[in-house]
Amino acid sequence: MKYLHCPIAEGMAPSDALGERSGPLLALLDQMLLHYEGGGRAIYLHSWAGCGRAGLVGASLLSLLRPDLEAAALLEWV
């Protein structure tokens, strides 16, 4: 198991989501993709309630893994 930490303040969006290309969320997504592509079988995401920040990270990761899905489908999967 590998622990990856990406602090996102509750009720706030990460700076990456606002157009900055070098923030902690993109670095975290890169690490999760490397884990998955290297044969990792599961990625567990969580935040306090699990429906805001964790959902954002989950949808972002899924959009990289499944670029064919539209936004509504990504949210449905997450």
What is the rounded CA–CA span in Å between residue 29 and residue 57?
8
The tens digit of pLDDT for each residue in 7-56 reads 777 777 666 544 554 567 777 788 888 887 888 777 777 777 766 788 88
Of 26, 27, 30, give the one whose Cα is nearest residue 18: 26
Q: What are phi and psi of 23, to 5 degrees?
A: -85, 180
Output the pLDDT for position 69. 92
Output the pLDDT for position 32. 81
Interhelix angle 24-37/53-65, rounded to 10 degrees, is 50
